[in-house]
Amino acid sequence: MTYIAKTVGFKPGERNVFFHILTACNLSCSHCYINHKQHGENSLTKEQIIEWLQLFVDKKKKTNLILLGGEPTLHRDLPHVITEAKKAGFFVTVDTNGFLFNDFLNKISPNSLDYLSFSLDGPNAEVNDPIRGKSVFDTCVKNIRRAVSMGFSVSVIFTTSLRNKDFLHKMVPLLVELKVKKFFIQVIGLRGKSAQHNIESRVKQVQVSREEWLKIVPEVALQAAARGIEVTYPKVFLDKDELFECAGNVAENFFIFPNGRVYKCPLCEDYPVNAYHIENNKLIATGGLTEESFFALDIKEGCVMNKLLQPDNIEYDKDGGVVHRISCCLLKEQINL
């Protein structure tokens, strides 16, 4: 059987809500994108979470809700939030670092959660733990096994960087053994901790080149698909004949933080340019210069936010032409079974 990656265009009527219910975490991953100055340090109460969720309910559209942090299972009321979110019609995923605090698995049923997504950045402790922390690999794998045995649908997220790119292919047999259903291969973003140094040095330190990305990621994705795993990864680079679309213009994506900021583009999260904010439990458009001011700009490089915030990952030819445009970071490639 031949598996072909297809670009998953932005679907009319589909919405994605990424809700950071807190920013606290027990880990200190080297590529963590949480920026406490911009995102806050508070943990929302369960009442606040439910009230804010109501702002994004749309019965006429499918809305994917991703509950994350920080580490969301640190919030004692997460099981209650999941129950209420399902009642409101959301398709619910929880993103976790794998520690599953507060006896999380025993407080919800597998049917109450659509996906439980674990973060792993290596096929073994030697690769994963220098990035995510001591003993993280063993803890995460143990809890993946437990979740699968209890009947939860499990996915895994792998963030690709120069530190682990050569080990991506070794994730496939591990995922098969763990009976993981979905695999998300992410490109490391220059946000949060990864953005603390100057642009040139941080690109050299963490980001995989275009050549390396295209050589490694699609092939591993095909290997995983051939073993029965659904794989998704960012498009990243556009061919000359491919249309550029900005999710900020053609899709509904909301990134909510506990200080009330609501962004439409994840690349903007290190800056106070959020399109919306929540005040007195109301979603309000932010005045002045915001991220939305840039979405309509049509530039040869593709993503205008990438050009503004991390221009050193764009290649130009000797005549100043763009070798490969950068796609919207929310545009994905998918290989289905």
| pLDDT tens, position by position, 152-188 | 999 999 999 999 999 999 999 999 999 999 999 998 7
Sorted by where each begins, the domain ranges of the chain are 6-243+327-335
CATH of 6-243+327-335, one of 3.20.20.70, 3.90.700.10, 2.60.40.10, 3.40.50.800: 3.20.20.70
Q: Average pLDDT, stretch 242-254? A: 93
Q: Average pLDDT, stretch 76-81? A: 98
- Sequence-ordered strand ranges (E) for the chain: 6-8, 14-20, 62-68, 91-96, 115-119, 154-160, 182-187, 230-234, 237-238, 252-256, 261-263, 276-279, 282-285, 325-326, 332-335
* pLDDT of amino acid 209: 86
CB 267 within 8 A of CB 309: yes
- Is 204 or 299 the better-scoring residue by pLDDT? 299
% of the chain beyond a pLDDT of 90: 77
* pLDDT of amino acid 13: 65
**Nearest by Cα to 53 from 34, 67, 39, 72:** 67
Q: How many Cβ atoms from other residues are within 10 Å of residue 272's Cβ?
A: 13
- Judged by average pLDDT, the poorest of 9-23, 227-241, 317-331 is 9-23
Distance CA 144, CA 126 (A): 18
Residue 115 region by backbone torsions, left for phi larger than 0, else alpha for psi between -120 and 50, else beta: beta
In the 8-state DSSP scheme, what is residue 299?
B
pTM (predicted TM-score)? 0.92
Q: What share of the chain is helix, strand, coil (3-state, %, to 5)?
A: 35, 20, 45
Q: Is it the case that residue 121 has pLDDT exceeding 60?
A: yes
**Nearest by Cα to 123 from 165, 167, 157, 155:** 167
Q: Is it the case that residue 220 has pLDDT exceeding 60?
A: yes
| pLDDT tens, position by position, 144-156 | 999 999 999 999 9
